[in-house]
Amino acid sequence: MKQSWYYFILFLFLCFILSCSSHEEKTQDFTYTGTGDNVETNPVKAIGWSGERLANAYCGGCHLKPNPDLLTRKLWREYVLPDMGRRLGLFYEPRDPFNENPEIAEIIYPKEPVIHRDDWEKIAEYYIENSPEQMLPQSEKSVENVGINEFVPKGIKVDKEIPPTSSFIKIDETEQSIFVALAHRAIYKLKHMEVVEIMQVGSAPSSLAQTAENELLALGMGIMAPSEEKSGELHYFSSASDNSEILLKGLHRPVDVKLADLNQNGREDLLICNFGHHSGDLAWFENEPDGTYTKHILRSKPGAIQAWITDFNNNGLPDILSLFAQGDEGIFAYINQGDGIFKEEVLLRFPPVYGSSYFELADISGNGHKDIIYVNGDNADLTPVQKNYHGIRIYLNDGKNNFHESFFYPMYGAQKAMVADFNGNGKPDIAAISFFPDYTQAEPESFVLLINESIDTHELKFKAKTFPEQNDGHWLTMDVGDLTGNGLQDIVLGSFIIGPNDAPYDILTNWQDLGYHFMLLENQGFEVKFFDP
């Protein structure tokens, strides 16, 4: 009975995973000539406009316009175009496809068309005629095996009664400890690979932050399935008490929390990504003198999945950079104007089929300016096919916070990538995981280590490596840090095996038999330091 309860909770958590970058929603089959009461209310026709120009105007009005070659003809015709049409007021249904609040459905799907049906036909024709029959192939690459004297993999079980369901993992270098969140509502603290503390959260944990006093804040998502219900909570764990306190309620499927004194008044404020569903927001919560918090919305759109707080423009004030992974995908900066006022700047935008999942700031070029390492590979949407544009991209900073793509490593289903100097030669390397790898390949590439071999930034060069045990878990999360105190950067991979995936039977069985909640890749040092300065 106990395990049945766990699996029910885990099923709900899976619903969150499968919606976190749900760029397209399920629809009925697409028909060009659909009928309905709203057919006679066609808007004015755009005379002489091509399908591409119309797509630029209508599709590009909500997000970066996707090119036709990003998906196959079948996917456009049967899945994506129907959803696009509904959002333009065609094929309107009076209720939401997920049976939610009809008021929300009316916000998402207009009752009246906002485009002339002939213009919509041109857009559909443009995508269908210019899309491939098959997905375009991934660029060629080679991956070597990591030597045993470089990283030693150690699989760890946290609780034998619970299957591997790590929703996040975090290294505390100061205490040389690990925090592992499992989707049955608990966060485990381990030292020397032994559980020393268990913190209960009201729902599946999604993020953890430490205050200036080293006390802990943990997010519980509330409703994990796609929902407009706002039942997420922020829990506060005091070192002076065994009990937790709920600081915030009514959060909308929150997935990331950060702390900083954003208005420079001496009190730590909160920054929370409310991923949401149809609606959501990125917001900071002002810490008031009486201990309450006042919410200030920075961007009132769903899909906020991650945020960083940094002095982006070097003026002494903390700024915010956030990744949005639903609909209008992109990285947005919120520049601190002082007195709690922020100005939005668009840094990068991506097509809504990209599957944005993570980004990191690091000085890859060595010029003293923060570059962007961006990851896209979330395949839990309407088009779960291997996409050649999934992978890891490096956008170099020109010194004026303008970014241009300088490196791309293709990686099916890329989930997360973290930067650290793993081989000790002073150059930033990259460790990356995939949650949707290609299991038809001899090496599915669930994990890859990119060793920096760049001589200069005019041509970034990385050598890709992996390790034989990469398929001993289904890696959803990861963290990097010196866990063993030897001055070398270790890697911890969190496994989440519940739910549908394309893994063959032998790999699935291996996950279940091993039961690893996470794997430590203990850095033993590299024999060769590539291109030592």
Q: Which residues pair with 470 in a beta bridge?
A: none
- Average pLDDT value for the chain: 87
> Which comes out higher in pLDDT, residue 12 or 143?
143
Tell me, what amino acid is at 201?
V
Sheet holding 293-299, edge to edge: 254-260, 269-274, 281-287, 293-299
Nearest to 326 by CA among 14, 18, 20, 27: 20
Quickly state the pLDDT bin for 94 (edges 50, 70, 90). Answer: low
pLDDT value of residue 140: 86
188-199 core/surface letters (b: 16 or more CB in 10 A; e: else): bbbeeeeeeeeb
**pLDDT value, residue 199:** 93
| Structure-token pair, residue 510 | 């291996």
442: confidence class by pLDDT, cuts 50, 70, 90: confident
Q: Which residue has the higher pLDDT, 310 or 456?
A: 310
Who contacts 300 (Cβ-Cβ below 8 Å, separation ≥6)? 279, 281
Q: Please give the structure tokens belonging to residue 277.
A: 């569903």
Q: What is the pTM of this model?
A: 0.90
pLDDT tens, position by position, 4-50: 333 334 434 444 443 444 433 333 333 433 433 444 466 888 889 99
pLDDT tens profile 115-139: 999 999 999 999 999 999 999 999 9
Residue 164 has pLDDT above 90, yes or no: yes
**pLDDT score at 50:** 96
**Which of 51-54's residues contact partners 24+ apart within 8 Å by CB, and which partners?**
51/122, 51/123, 51/124, 51/125, 51/126, 51/127, 52/126, 54/115, 54/119, 54/122, 54/123, 54/126
Express each pLDDT in 146-162 by its tens digit: 654 588 999 999 998 89
- Least-confidence region, from 260-269, 336-345, 457-466: 457-466
Residue range 43-69: average pLDDT? 93
* Residue 204 CB contacts under 8 Å (≥ 6 apart), including other chains: 9, 12, 13, 16, 167, 181, 183, 184, 185, 220, 221, 224
* Separation CA 524–CA 527 (nearest Å): 9
For 485-518, the pLDDT digits (tens) are 889 999 999 999 987 678 899 999 999 999 999 9
Distance of alpha carbon 179 from alpha carbon 191, whole angstroms: 9
At 228, the pLDDT band (50, 70, 90 cuts) reads: confident
CB atoms within 10 A of CB 95: 12
Structure tokens at 377: 């590979």
The side-by-side arrangement of strands in the sheet containing 475-481 is 151-156, 518-523, 490-495, 475-481
pLDDT computed for residue 529 by the predictor: 44
Confidence (pLDDT) at 270:
98
Q: pLDDT digit string (tens) for 408-426?
A: 999 999 999 999 999 999 9
CB 364 within 8 A of CB 372: no
Task: Specify the range with the lowest mean pLDDT, choosing from 92-96, 318-322, 515-519.
Answer: 92-96
User: What local confidence, expressed as pLDDT, does residue 4 receive?
Assistant: 37
Collect all residues with Cβ–Cβ distance below 8 Å to 369 and sequence separation of at least 6: 363, 397, 398, 399, 401
Angle at alpha carbon of residue 477, lines to 471 and 479, rounded to 5°: 105
User: What is the CA 213 to chain-centroid distance, rounded?
Assistant: 29
Q: What is the pLDDT, as a whole number, of residue 242? A: 62
Report which residue type is found at 427: K
Structure tokens at 454: 């760049």
d(CA 194, CA 198): 11
Tokens representing 242 are 């065994």
Q: Which of 67-71, 435-439, 487-491, 499-503 has the lowest mean pLDDT?
A: 499-503
> Which of 285 and 139 is assigned the larger pLDDT?
285
Most confident of 12-16, 296-300, 382-386: 296-300
Instruction: Flag whether pLDDT at 113 surpasses 90.
Output: no
Strand ranges for 122-185 from DSSP E: 144-145, 151-156, 166-172, 177-182
Task: With a cut of 80, say whether residue 482 has pLDDT above it.
Answer: yes
Rounded Cα distance, 258 and 211, in Å: 9
In angstroms, rounded to a whole number, what is the distance separating the alpha carbons of residues 216 and 219?
10
